[in-house]
Amino acid sequence: MHRLITFALLVAGLATVGCIRPDGAKKTLPGKELFAACASCHGENGAGQANIAAPNIAGLPAWYVEAQLAKYRSGARGAHPEDLEGLRMRPMSRQMMDEGEVKAVAAYVATLAPVKSAPSLKDADAAAGAGSYATCLACHGDKGQGNQALNAPPLAGQYDWYLVSQLKKFKSGIRGANPLDVTGGQMRPMSMTLPDEQAMKNVVAHISTFNR
């Protein structure tokens, strides 16, 4: 309960952080200006913050950022009552006025220099995870580089704790079970090939060996 209250207060506070439109002007703002609202969680360089579970988004491809923002805005992602981080992100995505602003901020995120993350998982076996990654390879690539044609984002360079948390969400149905989330629905059965949290940690440890 305490965690839920804390997140509710954080969401309320972040909802007040946004883009100022002088005189209520109805115009599309540039991506860098829009990103000021994102920086409160993801940082000015897009590296994210582990203490508030904000992932590293620096250098993510514009098509992926745009797709995820669209999901948050529509409720395809971030509407599940147990997705605390998603519930925090959803009102932030709605601060963008229109599709043009979504595209603008996504394009700006893509220009940010990628930030490499240091491994943090304990008791994870990267060698054991290499075998499990064979299932991921077809979509995410041999070095976790992603594939736009398959709507598969890059994984290399992302925080290991974030990847594990997303695998847990997909497997439990917190993410990817909404019928509006078609690409998430494709990922969910893949997460189910990992029998337990240890297997998730192992495959993520293997992903952490990739260079972005």
pLDDT in tens, 44-56: 999 999 999 999 9
What average pLDDT does the chain have? 89
Q: What are the pLDDT digits (tens) for 58-98? A: 999 999 999 999 999 999 999 999 999 999 999 999 999 99
121 part of a folded domain: no
Check whether residue 74 and residue 170 sit in a common domain.
no
Q: Name the domain count of the chain.
A: 2
* % of the chain with per-residue pLDDT over 70: 86
> Quick check: 20 pLDDT over 60?
no
pLDDT of residue 38: 96
- Which residues constitute the domain of residue 145? 126-207
Asked whether residue 90 falls in the same domain as residue 132, the answer is no
Q: What is the pTM of this model?
A: 0.87
Residue 68 sits in a domain whose CATH number is 1.10.760.10
pLDDT tens, residue by residue, 145-163: 999 999 999 999 999 999 9
In a domain, 163, yes or no: yes
pLDDT of residue 125: 97
Average pLDDT over residues 175-190: 97
Name the nearest CA neighbour of 101 among 133, 129, 73, 134: 73
